[in-house]
Chains A and B, each alone.
Chain A
Amino acid sequence: MNYETHEHDVLVIGAGGAGLRAAVEVSAKGLSVGVVSKSLLGKAHTVMAEGGIAAAMANVDAKDSWQTHFSDTMKGGKFLNNWRMAQLHAQESPDRIRELEDWGALFDRTPDGEILQRAFGGHTYKRLCHVGDRTGLEMIRTLQDKGVHSGIDVYMELTIFRLLKDGGKIAGAIGYWRKTGEFVVFKTKAIVLATGGGGKAYQITSNSWECTGDGHALAYEAGAELIDMEFFQFHPTGMVWPPGVKGLLVTEGVRGEGGLLTNNKKERFMQRYDPKMMELSTRDMVARSIYTEVKEGRGSPHGGVFLDISHLAAERVKKKLPSMYHQFKELADVDITREPMEVGPTAHYMMGGVRVDAETGASTIPGLFACGEVTGGMHGANRLGGNSLSDLVVFGRRAGMGAAEYARKLNSFPLLDQGELEKAAKDMETPFQRSGDENPYQIHRELQESMQSLVGIFRMEEDLKKGINKIEELKHRAAKLAVKGERTYNPGWHLVGDLKSLLTVSEAVANAALTRKESRGAHSRIDYPNMDEKFGKLNVVVSRKNGEMNISTSPVPEMPEELKRLLAENK
């Protein structure tokens, strides 16, 4: 078959903060770059980020430094992080923020005209640069406009469903235009995966529809290694009512600005769990505390707890948290300047992902690079708020550089394997030829229910095994799905592809969770409630061997002495 074909030195899959930053970098190096995204430009999940972007700029707390940011990140990640990523991140994020400002971004200011920074959970100092509570929008518009005017080719509403290799190395990818349903082939020397997370595996999530873990699955299928997949962050504060918005995020900025958590006995219950940090404890801790309060009968009417910011002046709330104000007013009939919100945990962020080299974003497959939420390592067992947006720009740039350098060294384009290409196209098409009544939405609902109840905040062996069996059953049913209707903009067909990714991600999360027989960060085992030093030295690795999911462990990279000293000093 002849397919529409495009050629780029580097193909970036994903147009969130990470993908756009990577593309800008490739283009700055003078190479041709294409960016694809499942949605329209500017709609990627990054647009929803609210609270801010972390960087030790020391504008508000003069004592802040990269060293403290590094220590906070490692502590938050329960020392499972890739130390080099955490170090580069802490050192480079201030420059990346200044660069965003050079490109036209505007952040809130201190009285003497520096970028203002706010407090956030797990950060020792006031560190989050922000603009009200729409930091992600500011970032994505800035990068979007920078990208558009740097000569990047953007392919909107195009979904990639297979990476193609030439021998061992990356040669291209195949996808389809949502608008027409037609296939498109990309010939490329290098690929940067920047596809974001996979929260749609859970029933209650803050994530948008795109977050189906496609990049995790594409990389896994291509033979790359995934690490830390057992660590799924449940954000402590999602909306719990009305039903249609269950899971929608309530930014940590509310607590950063002084919001208080209480139960139905009007107790500030964080006193019981983390009296030192209280509301600004790390997310894993606050999420577990809320879960426990609700389970023990001290919850709010709709099964959450109360989060109250009404003690601040109404004008201040509206100025610092405008979208929260509107979100509650319009969707839940709650005026947060007068009454408390009801909140509960929501699946939010994947710490796990493609294993990459810290300096270049290179995966274990030659020519395949990755950055942003699709990668693993940077955040260890638990991510601190605000450390994702900074991760996107620090490692977006690095992956862009890494991919550009790799592409430049290849004299010619690798060859596409026609057989592989045809097989990918056929796999994608066959659901139209099948008949049957199974509905892809039904399978998605069942997966979300199982992940929520069996592979959620608290886990135990029996549940995890049940979950794995359920995923296996769903995989078989999904492989037989029939699609109705035409190829043009058919969400049912799209979901068949998304489900494939979601099932792979879910299988990886459940198996990795079963392997880690301890509780650490976002991973809490009822049957192994304590941290185990042995597991503190290991990353769980997921990869594909002979068509089957293979789980192994590998030692956490050893930190140099000077950083160990630094951590000891900052205890």
Chain B
Amino acid sequence: MPDVTFKVFRGDAKGGQAIDYPVPIAPGMVVLDALHYIQGYLAPDLAVRWNCKAAKCGSCSAEVNGKPALMCKTRLDSLPTGRPITVYPMKTFPVIKDLVCDVSWNYDVNKKIPPYRPAKDGRKIYQEDVDRVQEFRKCIECFLCQDVCHVLREHEKKAEFAGPRFFVRLAGLEMHPNDITDRSEFLKNSSGLGLCNITKCCTEVCPEEIHITDNAIIPLKERVADRFFDPLRWVFAKIFGRK
């Protein structure tokens, strides 16, 4: 099998540059396989974050040929042949080293979201209730949607904007059949929901194919409007579980 050249970012917060590595290609190979080859034979100190290598844990996010992607899911045969493949860390988060960036901001945001609180006499849950929120609960926290969203990527509004990943989480909580927490204050004043202008870039990049904009963000925006224009309707909906 022929070699392919990988141009991999090597460096840290202070700066760095892409280094070329020749990698032999095998059938069905993914980008993460190539990086493991580089670690195993050429550069043992190359920093890469990964766990499952099965697109299930959301650890291996990076920018391959300029496009945010999971490295363990990006097949080499899906990339153009005959030229080097570039691998850079996610741009929206500060680099720690090489391909690993500091994503701790996301964990701080998560902590601020008012948690799940069950109704005292929780009602029976049916499959349709589970199906409704399933989509949001599939999220593997790869943070690719955060990486790609211009509010964070270009405008650096991390202080004001929770980002698509957490709109997904909020939608999952809000539509949970037995949750009774009132998050309307948080949604309106702290989440930065209003900063999203529905460009749908987040939806396009999500490896779990979650319809972030249509199914999470837009309903949340509607809810905020409803709640603040018509509090009575909201209370009614809460009591009858049709939030």
Are A145 and B127 also in contact (CB < 8 A) when A47-B52, A327-B55 are?
A: no
Chain B's closest residue to A496 (CB) is B44
Is A108 on the interface with B (CB-CB < 8 A)? Answer: yes
Are A209 and B50 also in contact (CB < 8 A) when A43-B58, A47-B56 are?
A: yes
Contact check, A243 vs B47: say whether CB atoms are below 8 A apart: no
Contact check, B55 vs A491: say whether CB atoms are below 8 A apart: no
**Interchain CB contact (< 8 A) of A491 among B28, B48, B51, B122:** B48
Measured between C-beta atoms, what is the minimum distance from B119 to chain A in Å?
A: 11
Q: Would you give the 0/1 interface string for B43-65, flagging 1 where the beta carbon is closer than 8 Å to chain A? A: 01111111111111111000000
Contact check, A109 vs B56: say whether CB atoms are below 8 A apart: no
**Interchain CB contact (< 8 A) of B57 among A48, A145, A439:** A48
Expressed in whole angstroms, the Cα–Cα distance for A44 and B58 within the complex equals: 11
Q: Would you give the 0/1 interface string for B124-150, flagging 1 where the beta carbon is closer than 8 Å to chain A? A: 111101100110011011000000000
Chain B's closest residue to A440 (CB) is B44
Expressed in whole angstroms, the Cα–Cα distance for A476 and B141 within the complex equals: 40
Contact check, B29 vs A244: say whether CB atoms are below 8 A apart: yes
- Which A residues lie within 8 Å of B100 (CB)? 489
Chain B's closest residue to A486 (CB) is B45
Q: Would you give the 0/1 interface string for A467-489, flagging 1 where the beta carbon is closer than 8 Å to chain B? A: 00000000000000001111011
Is A179 on the interface with B (CB-CB < 8 A)? Answer: yes
Is B228 on the interface with A (CB-CB < 8 A)? Answer: no
**Interchain CB contact (< 8 A) of B134 among A131, A442, A493:** A131
Contact check, A109 vs B126: say whether CB atoms are below 8 A apart: yes
Contact check, B44 vs A492: say whether CB atoms are below 8 A apart: yes
Is B202 on the interface with A (CB-CB < 8 A)? Answer: no
- Which A residues lie within 8 Å of B28 (CB)? 241-245, 331-333
Is B98 on the interface with A (CB-CB < 8 A)? Answer: yes
Is A40 on the interface with B (CB-CB < 8 A)? Answer: yes
Is A32 on the interface with B (CB-CB < 8 A)? Answer: no
Expressed in whole angstroms, the Cα–Cα distance for A132 and B127 within the complex equals: 11
Is A326 on the interface with B (CB-CB < 8 A)? Answer: yes
Interface residues on A, range: 35 or more
Contact check, A134 vs B138: say whether CB atoms are below 8 A apart: yes
Measured between C-beta atoms, what is the minimum distance from B117 to chain A in Å?
A: 9
Expressed in whole angstroms, the Cα–Cα distance for A333 and B103 within the complex equals: 32
Measured between C-beta atoms, what is the minimum distance from B140 to chain A in Å?
A: 7
Chain B's closest residue to A112 (CB) is B124
- Which A residues lie within 8 Å of B111 (CB)? 148-149
Contact check, B57 vs A244: say whether CB atoms are below 8 A apart: no
Contact check, A145 vs B130: say whether CB atoms are below 8 A apart: no
Expressed in whole angstroms, the Cα–Cα distance for A484 and B100 within the complex equals: 18
Contact check, B96 vs A488: say whether CB atoms are below 8 A apart: yes
Chain B's closest residue to A180 (CB) is B96
Contact check, A113 vs B96: say whether CB atoms are below 8 A apart: no
Expressed in whole angstroms, the Cα–Cα distance for A245 and B56 within the complex equals: 13
Is A562 on the interface with B (CB-CB < 8 A)? Answer: no
**Interchain CB contact (< 8 A) of B59 among A39, A103, A116, A495:** A39
- Which B residues lie within 8 Å of A561 (CB)? none
Of residues 90 through 140 on chain B, the ones whose CB sits less than 8 Å from some CB of chain A are 96-98, 100, 102-104, 107, 110-111, 115-116, 118, 122, 124-127, 129-130, 133-134, 137-138, 140
Expressed in whole angstroms, the Cα–Cα distance for A43 and B142 within the complex equals: 10
Contact check, A42 vs B126: say whether CB atoms are below 8 A apart: no
Are A485 and B137 also in contact (CB < 8 A) when A242-B29, A441-B40 are?
A: no
- Which A residues lie within 8 Å of B126 (CB)? 109, 113
**Interchain CB contact (< 8 A) of A441 among B41, B50, B52, B103:** B41
**Interchain CB contact (< 8 A) of B52 among A106, A111, A208, A440:** A208
- Which B residues lie within 8 Å of A113 (CB)? 124-126
- Which B residues lie within 8 Å of A131 (CB)? 130, 134, 137
Is A107 on the interface with B (CB-CB < 8 A)? Answer: yes
Contact check, A243 vs B27: say whether CB atoms are below 8 A apart: yes
- Which B residues lie within 8 Å of A439 (CB)? 40-41, 44
Is A342 on the interface with B (CB-CB < 8 A)? Answer: no
Expressed in whole angstroms, the Cα–Cα distance for A149 and B118 within the complex equals: 14
Q: Which residues of B contact A (CB under 8 A)?
A: 12, 26-30, 32-33, 39-41, 44-59, 73, 75, 96-98, 100, 102-104, 107, 110-111, 115-116, 118, 122, 124-127, 129-130, 133-134, 137-138, 140-141, 173, 176-177, 179
A-B pairs with lowest CB-CB distance, top 3: A242-B28, A485-B45, A492-B44
Known A-B contacts: A106-B125, A333-B28, A483-B45. Give 7 more (CB < 8 A).
A39-B49, A41-B107, A43-B51, A131-B134, A131-B137, A148-B110, A488-B47
Give me 7 A-to-B residue pairs in the complex whose CB atoms sit less than 8 angstroms apart, sorted by A's number.
A48-B57, A106-B176, A245-B28, A245-B53, A331-B73, A488-B96, A491-B47
